[in-house]
Amino acid sequence: MNRLDISLIRDLPPFVGMEVVDLQNILAQATAHRHEKGTTIFSESEKANYFYLLLDGHIRVVKINQNGEQMIARYISAGESYGIAKAIGRDTYPANAVAAVDCLSLAWPTKIWDDIILQHPNFATNSYQTVGKRLFETQERMLELATAKVEQRVANVILKLANQTGKKTEEGILIDFPISRQDISEMTGTTLHTVSRLMSAWEDKGWVKSGRQKIVLVEGHKLMLVATNAAD
DNA sequence: CCATTAAAGGATT
DNA sequence: AATCCTTTAATGG
């Protein structure tokens, strides 16, 4: 009855440990959504009518202050759920979600969240593990923002992104979606100029190769040293 | 050490 | 052509 095959989701984190019938049941209630690069999928404080699973693409999760200044809270990669407001006890979205590239997602109406949680304990467990993991990551970033120098923070995000979404090329590990200096600065609490200067310096040393909205990590271990060494 | 401001040039649409 | 992205330099906290 459904054109979606369970092989789409079977091995993804939100669904590990689930039986085929359960997967089929859940999948039958999903609809596929496309989001063009640059479009806002949902906005902060908007009613959370759907929760999502990203099948393909990359999504930026963004917080904005009263001044209109932005901070990138995280990137969502393929296989991750997002917009799961109910999992953190909300009925509105906690941030904005923007498609960093053309994206393909599955979506479920939030009103069936409670049913799914009740009927599929594995899904419930996986969901709170996801929430816990993200909380942990957020705390680590807070610690970093409070204690690490700009140089270390920038080195760190580049390493993390390369790890998360890196694609091997002849030159090195390519961060597999368009990312600007501005984006990096919004992740590290600095300015695009400082990011630009750091990246230029690292490029001169041959540690990275970069261009417009493009970063290739060439000498990962060198950046590791920058990221971990508090000393100059 | 890092932010801000300004200026200028290249890339993209 | 207009807009977006990056670089570089100067200045100041």
CA dihedral A93, A99, A105, A111 (to 10 degrees): 10
User: Rounded to an integer, what distance in angstroms lies between the CA atom of residue A57 and that of residue A155?
Assistant: 24
**Model-level pTM greater than 0.85?**
yes
User: Rounded to an integer, what distance in angstroms lies between the CA atom of residue A195 and that of residue A186?
Assistant: 10
Mean pLDDT confidence for A84-96? 97
- Structural contact between residues A15 and A9, judged by C-beta atoms closer than 8 angstroms: yes
Question: CB under 7 Å from any atom of strand C: which residues?
Answer: A 180-182, 192-193, 196-197, 199-200, 203, 210-213
Domain assignments of chain A as residue spans, ordered by start: 6-140, 148-228
Q: What is the pLDDT of residues A181-205, one digit of tens each?
A: 999 999 999 999 999 999 999 999 9
The CATH fold assigned to A148-228 is Arc Repressor Mutant, subunit A (1.10.10)
Q: In the structure, what pLDDT confidence band is assigned to residue A209 with cuts at 50, 70 and 90?
A: very high
Q: In the structure, what pLDDT confidence band is assigned to residue A212 with cuts at 50, 70 and 90?
A: very high
- Structural contact between residues A14 and A6, judged by C-beta atoms closer than 8 angstroms: no
Mean pLDDT confidence for A57-69? 91
Cα three-residue angle A129-A130-A135, rounded to 5 degrees: 95
Q: Which CATH class is domain A6-140?
A: mainly beta
Rounded distance in angstroms from the CA atom of residue A212 to the C1' atom of nucleotide B10: 10
Per CATH, A6-140 and A148-228 having the same topology is answered no
